[in-house]
Amino acid sequence: MDDRVAATLREDPTMAALIDRHGPLDVAPAGDEFARLCASIVNQQLSTASAAAIRERFVDALGGDPTPDRVLAADEAALREAGLSATKVEYLRNAADAFRDGERDLTREGLADLSDAAVVDRLTEIRGVGEWTARMYLIFALGREDVLPLGDLAVRKGIERIYNDGEELSRAEMREIGEAWRPYRSYGTRYVWAEYES
């Protein structure tokens, strides 16, 4: 996290306290966009701990880091034994097909000229990649710095806990809180997650 990001986030006193508590957090592009998309699909609707355990077994079942070829060649029974539902196996295979078919370049370079909204549109054409997964891809695969994923339950609960004593806030109120973090809302989001999970 560079000085510009820290200076912007510290204009929000609550966020300044989170930075002091959790230290520098980064938003950097993933080394492997496909593996990162697989991680987000595995993580869908799971707790952090459950997702981590299933991801580890998924990689073991593949015999190495996820690649489109490994996912498409993997034995479905082994993937199910790793803890993946039949639906998630299908979604992972759909993602593998999308990366392998060459029609859409879903790499950082291929998406570099597209807005965040256009990237979400392109990704959600893949069955099994919804808005939440696409926003995780923006942050964790592409390293986009200004994403506020209010579709994420932990982000919403975290903002309510940190900014409103756990009382409910509307999404409009949460967006207003996040305005103070622009153009680095992905970093603000990371601090909300860090606090929520601590």
Q: What is the pLDDT of residue 47?
A: 76
Rounded to 10 deg, the angle between the 86-100 and 33-43 helix axes is: 160
CATH 1.10.340.30 corresponds to the domain 33-141: yes
SS3 134: helix
The CATH number assigned to the domain with range 3-26+148-197 reads 1.10.1670.40
Give the C-alpha separation, 71 to 99, whole Å.
11
Residue (of 56, 53, 92) closest to 74 by Cα position: 92
Residue (of 123, 120, 47, 44) closest to 85 by Cα position: 44
pLDDT digit string, tens, across residues 87-141: 999 999 999 999 987 777 888 898 999 999 999 999 999 999 999 999 999 999 9
Q: What is the pLDDT of residue 14?
A: 97
Q: Does the pTM exceed 0.95?
A: no
In the block, tokens 């000229």 appear at 113
Average pLDDT, the chain: 93
Residue (of 4, 20, 28) closest to 194 by Cα position: 20
Neighbours of 1 (CB within 10 A): 17
pLDDT digit string, tens, across residues 45-90: 877 788 889 999 999 999 999 999 999 999 999 999 999 999 999 9
Least confident window among 97-106, 145-154, 185-194? 97-106
Q: What is the pLDDT of residue 107?
A: 86
Q: What is the pLDDT of residue 80?
A: 95
Query: Domain extents for the chain?
Result: 3-26+148-197, 33-141
The C-alpha angle 120, 139, 81, rounded to 5 degrees, equals 85
Q: What is the pLDDT of residue 120?
A: 96
Give the C-alpha separation, 62 to 119, whole Å.
28
Residue 44 has pLDDT above 90, yes or no: no
Burial label, 34 (beta-carbon count in 10 A; 0-12, 13-18, 19+) = buried
SS3 61: helix
Which has more confidence, 17 or 106?
17
Give the C-alpha separation, 19 to 10, whole Å.
8
